[in-house]
Structure 1
Amino acid sequence: MQRIPCPERDDWRETAAQCGFDFYEVDGERYWDERAYYAFSIAEIELGIEEPTGEIEQMCLELVRRVVADEALLRRLQLPEPAWPLLADSWTRADPSLYGRLDLSFPGFRGGDRVPAKLLEYNADTPTSIFEAAVFQWTWLEQAIERRILPGRADQYNSIHERLIERWRALGKGRLHLAGVTSEPEDAATLVYLADTAAQAGLSTTVLDITDIGWRDTGGGFVDLDNNDIRLAFKLYPWEWMFHDAFGAKLQTAPTRWVEPPWKAILSNKGILPLLWQMFEGHPSLLPAYFEDDPKAASLGQSFVRKPIYSREGANVSLVSGGVAVSAQDGPYGAEGYIRQALAPLPDFGGVFPVIGSWLVANTPCGLSIREDATPITGNRSRFLPHAIL
């Protein structure tokens, strides 16, 4: 793996605007950054990232199978008891998943050293940056080859777009409602992009704000602003928030099929990291991890990463070295408790630290994205850089 500086396209902002990518800056700072790209060998992609991603996904599915049947584990993950039947029923029905993103630490292969990627966390329920990963970095690849920024034989690990369309075809027919916080530019763009992939699969689509979902008492069910039944819904809104919202108690009885399905609430929880280590201790793609109140957490010593059980965009995560928090992010999370995870130092490319986002569609690895930052904690303002296989 290399970080290679390169010229940016003169018209990349115009290209972004044309395809609806209007959040390429965050608070005046670059979010999309093509002044460099990350280059991989095919072996690094296939053996270092793709293969471990598939193994981790299978371990996660096995974890869900165990958790839904174990009240102690459900309680350990701080999942509210009224939601337990919803999770179990969803898993028993084999409600299908659309997509997810594993965040990985990957140093690249050096000589004969083929170290697989290490799991940092799983964005299983509401992962964003899917449009940039699936579409905009592919556009960059094509144009960078045309403009000789990249060699002509360059490629990219990226079949996300095609697999999303294929997955929607399998998920159903008729009308799909897509809901989220539409006032957030990235969330709104994600909903619009996923609606486009669903439309290409033959579904009719309606995008609405999560607060515009209503309830019909007669007959019982969720409805949109036109009082149409919501039978199939994608929600870019965390399950743990839905459980506590006003309509949370109605989720169990509503006929709506949700994407992501309720059982994904288990995998979007940082508590899966110590559970995975407990179940598959020693797996080369897992890091030692423990709940903070577990006496075994002391085995990590004075250097570890401290993460809230519920957290997003790196909020309330702290990197502790020698007993001192050397990097930390503020935020509103932590009331449910914390886990501790062994340090997996990110590769350092001259003061920037990349995290690999390994994408899955229909539980199958199919692409990657890269976020980098000047600190080892990836947050909302971390930059997105494209990648290529050389």
Structure 2
Amino acid sequence: MRRETSVPRDGWQEIIESQGLAYHRTAHPGHLTRPYWDESVHYSFTMDEVLALESQTEELHGMCLEAAGHVIATGRYRDFAIPDWVAPEIEASWRRGDPHVYGRFDLRYDGAGPAKLLEYNADTPTSLVETSLIQWFWLKDVHPGDDQWNSVHERLIARWKELPLQSGPAHFAWTNMDETGEEAMTLGYLQETAEQAGRTTVAIAMEDIGWDPASGRFLDMERRVIRTLCKLYPWEWAVADPFGPQAVRQQVSMTWIEPLWKMLLSNKALLAVLWEMYPGHPNLLPAYLDGPRDLPAHIRKPLLGREGAGMRVVTPGGVEETGGEYGAEGHVYQEFQALPGFDGWRPVLGAWIVGDEAAGLGIRETSGLITDDSSSFVPHRIVL
């Protein structure tokens, strides 16, 4: 694993915008001088490194599924700040095997030892367009003789083909709260892969979904019954909405992507449950729900935090915190291992799962200790 420099392509901004990364200017804090998509650098890997990461990612995914089953069997929903009334529907969703599509593991990896799980973005993962499309086209333009860990596009199409969706069009819903366009473009890309799989689709804003009390069903703007809904709207938000009870209890008559049981995997309490079930596992960091215990350095993470908000890093050298409104739901305390440094920058590896198989890699870099919305996405290649 090496960090290498290269000359950006002429007109790279227009190139990536034409390929779907229309939000690279808006989804990044405007005061930053470094662009969100930065192709002046990239990471190179050997095939052996990538094969090892693939295997570890799939093992982690299997462990997470086992952990979800354990939480349901033991009824540990309060550790996840899940309301009591939602718990029976999560269990029912799990027992039915409601289908899932994708997720992204965030990993610490330095090329010298096993990857370490930082968190699992299992419900509403982003950076999908960058991973699947933008860095692939970069590779073909700049390093056409090399390879890339990237079968995301093909696997998404295959996954949509095999899903047992309900009749009628699949609806893809963004929220008008997204001012950057990232959510709309990500859902647009997911919608495109579903169409390439032969599915009929409809785009809709979450705010335009209606509820029909007579039929007890959700409807779109043309009063069509919504039978399949793919969203980037977190389940913890949906549960708290006025129509949350209807959404939760529509699990039988609708297919939700991602399903309700993913609430257990997208919650950072999962980290502590994994450590209880697999203590000392080489791909895990010690994590606890009741405090840092004897950890000499730890990071306190809100159970439902996003984009690095509400984090608190405690080391013998001091304390570093990020702002944010998360944390009222509770925290998990995970051993802190600083991200590895490459030329003063620290990468987080985003390893994608589609279905139950490892599918690709996206990398974001930060100059600090915590990856947040100021971090840049950089491409990678496998040197052949």
For the 8 Å contact 2:168–2:227, the answer to whether it is kept is: no
Q: Conserved in 2, the CA contact under 8 Å of 1:118 and 1:344?
A: no
Q: 1:273-288 alignment to 2 at 5 Å?
A: 273-288=271-286
- 1:1-390 alignment to 2 at 5 Å? 1-25=1-25, 26-28=28-30, 29=32, 30-47=35-52, 49-71=53-75, 73-109=76-112, 115-145=113-143, 152=145, 154-171=146-163, 172=165, 174-182=168-176, 183-184=178-179, 185-254=181-250, 255-291=253-289, 293-294=290-291, 297-301=292-296, 303-322=297-316, 324-325=318-319, 327-390=320-383
Tell me by how many angstroms 1:323 deviates. Answer: 6.9
Q: Distance in 2 between matches of 1:67 and 1:211?
A: 32
The answer to whether the 8 A contact 1:23-1:31 is kept is: no
User: In 1, Cα distance between the equivalents of 2:108 and 2:143?
Assistant: 28
Aligned partner of residue 163 in structure 1, secondary structure: helix
Equivalent residue, structure 2, for 1:149: none
Which AA in structure 2 matches 1:120?
L
Alpha-carbon distance in 2 for matches of 1:269, 1:162: 28
TM-score by length of 1: 0.93
CA distance in 2, matches of 1:181, 1:139: 29
Partner Cα distance (1:359, 1:211) in 2: 29
Once the two structures are TM-superposed, the CA of residue 67 in structure 1 deviates from its matched residue by 1.1
Distance across 2 between alignment mates of 1:20 and 1:119: 29
Is the contact made by 1:355 and 1:378 (CA closer than 8 Å) also made in structure 2?
yes
- The one-letter code sitting in structure 2 at the alignment partner of 1:270 is K
Query: Where in structure 2 are there 5+ consecutive unaligned residues?
Result: none
Query: What is the deviation of 1:198?
Result: 0.6
**Is the contact between residue 104 and residue 352 of structure 2 (CA under 8 Å) also seen in structure 1?**
yes
Q: CA deviation at 1:180?
A: 2.1
Deviation track 1:332-388 (CA, whole Å, cap 9, x = no partner) reads 100011111011221101221000000000021010000001112111121000000
What do the CA deviations read for 1:19-63 (whole angstroms, capped 9, x no partner)? 23111222334110000100001111111x111111111110001
Farther off after superposition, 277-286 or 205-214:
205-214
Question: After alignment, is 343-352 or 57-66 more displaced?
Answer: 343-352
3-state SS of paired residue (2:343): coil
Asked if 2 retains the 8 angstrom alpha-carbon contact of 1:103 and 1:122, the reply is yes
C-alpha distance in 2 between matches for 1:298 and 1:75: 21
- State the Cα deviation string for residues 157-209 of structure 1 (Å, max 9, x = none): 00000000010111236411011224431111101110100110111111111
1:236 corresponds to which letter in structure 2? Answer: L
Distance 1:277 1:27 in 2: 35
Q: Is 1:86–1:251's contact at 8 Å kept on the other side of the alignment?
A: no
- Aligned equivalents of 2:248, 2:19: Cα separation in 1: 38
Spell out, residue by residue over 1:60-90, the C-alpha distance to the aligned partner (whole angstroms, 9 max, x if none): 000111112222x111111111111211111
CA distance in 1, matches of 2:312, 2:38: 26
Q: Distance in 1 between matches of 2:192 and 2:374?
A: 26
Q: 1:176 to 1:101 in 2, by over 3 A?
A: same
Q: Secondary structure at the match of 1:137?
A: helix
Aligned residues: 372
> CA–CA distance in 2 between the matches of 1:299 and 1:350?
32
Supply the AA of the counterpart residue of 1:83.
V
Find the counterpart in structure 2 of residue 112 from structure 1.
none
Distance across 2 between alignment mates of 1:368 and 1:118: 15
Q: Secondary structure at the residue paired with 1:251?
A: helix
Q: Distance in 2 between matches of 1:221 and 1:68?
A: 27
Distance 1:339 1:384 in 2: 27
2-structure distance, mates of 1:231, 1:381 = 37
